[in-house]
Structure 1
Amino acid sequence: MRRAFLMFVPLIAGLVAGPTLAAETQRYQMEKTDKGYVRMDTQTGEMSICEERDSQLVCKLAADERSALQDELGRVQSELKALDERIVKLENSLTAQLESKLPTEEEFQKSMGYMERFFRSFMGIVKDMEKEEQAPQTAPVPNKT
């Protein structure tokens, strides 16, 4: 049973890989020219010039596509450099803003003094209210006229 299973696995892998490989071979279309071949990528439309060297097919991007690729590469590199510079500026300005907005030790102590006085006053009010609630309630004295 195990041997039959082990023989079945490569068969399934071949069946699954078959359509994928067939789809990949259909991606490029080759046309013979006087100097070699022209290969067209049917998905992107890119054209490559191919020639035989030492029994191998060697393909290069067409000249106009090569220059377009180099232009795009230059543009992306410039954009990356500009983004790097922007990140550095933002990080530096954010650090400077945070440092400039922090209070000094004196300002901090002054604020803490205000808070302490506020809480002491508040707690005094709470204690007064508790005393009023704990005071014995006397019945109202009737008016004697």
Structure 2
Amino acid sequence: MRPHYILIPAALFSLVAVSAFSEETDRYRLEKSANGYVRMDTQTGAMSICEERSGQLVCKTAADERAAYQDEIDKLQSSIKALDERVAKLENSLSARLESQLPSEEDFNKTMGYMEQFFRTFKDIVKDMDKESGDDGSRLNQQKT
């Protein structure tokens, strides 16, 4: 019974590996040229010039493609640089605006003093109103119990 558990996954793995190898070998086409070989990627259309050296095939990207890649790299690098500068500028202006809008400690303490005075006055008004209506808080105590 146990050999089935081992054989089935092994067979599936080998099928996947053969399929991946087949796709990889079908992806590139080699054509003989005067100086060596031209390799074409059938998925992307990229072309490479290949030479045989010491029994191995050595491939280099074609000059036109290399120039196109370099142009694209240069564009992306300048775009990244511009974005980095913009982010730095935005971060600096945002932090400067936030710092300028925050109150000083003196202003904060002054505001807290006003709020404390307001609440004390309000509390005194409520106490006076309770005394005028004859309520000394006993009704509130009766409702709680």
Global fold match (TM > 0.5): yes
Q: Which residue of 2 aligns with 1:141?
A: none
Q: Which residue of 2 aligns with 1:116?
A: 116
Runs of 4+ in 1 over 4 A off after TM superposition: 128-135
**Any idea what SS the aligned residue of 2:59 has?**
strand
Q: Which amino acid counterpart does residue 63 of structure 2 have in structure 1?
A: A
Runs of 5+ unmatched residues, structure 2: 136-145
Deviation at 1:5, TM superposition (A): 3.5
Deviation at 1:90, TM superposition (A): 2.1
Query: Within 5 A, what are the aligned runs for 1:1-145?
Result: 1-3=1-3, 5-128=5-128, 130-131=130-131, 135=135
Cα 1:129/1:18, change in 2 over 3 Å: farther
Deviation at 1:111, TM superposition (A): 0.9
Q: Which amino acid counterpart does residue 88 of structure 1 have in structure 2?
A: A
Tell me, in whole angstroms, the C-alpha distance in 2 between the residues paired with 1:70 and 1:99.
43
Q: Which amino acid counterpart does residue 67 of structure 1 have in structure 2?
A: A
RMSD (Å), alpha carbons: 2.4
Deviation at 1:123, TM superposition (A): 2.8
Deviation at 1:67, TM superposition (A): 0.5
Runs of 5+ unmatched residues, structure 1: 136-145
Q: Which amino acid counterpart does residue 77 of structure 1 have in structure 2?
A: Q
Cα 1:119/1:30, change in 2 over 3 Å: same
Cα 1:131/1:9, change in 2 over 3 Å: same
Query: Which has the larger displacement, 31-40 or 2-11?
Result: 2-11
What percentage of aligned pairs have identical amino acids?
61
Q: TM-score, normalised by structure 1?
A: 0.77
Q: Which amino acid counterpart does residue 26 of structure 1 have in structure 2?
A: D
Query: Which has the larger displacement, 83-92 or 4-13?
Result: 4-13
In proportion to residue count, which structure has more helix? Answer: 2
Deviation at 1:79, TM superposition (A): 1.6
Query: Which has the larger displacement, 99-108 or 121-130?
Result: 121-130
Question: C-alpha deviations, 1:69-91, integer Å up to 9, x for none?
Answer: 11111111122222222222222
Tell me, in whole angstroms, the C-alpha distance in 1 between the residues paired with 2:133 and 2:24.
87
Deviation at 1:131, TM superposition (A): 5.0
Tell me, in whole angstroms, the C-alpha distance in 2 between the residues paired with 1:75 and 1:122.
66
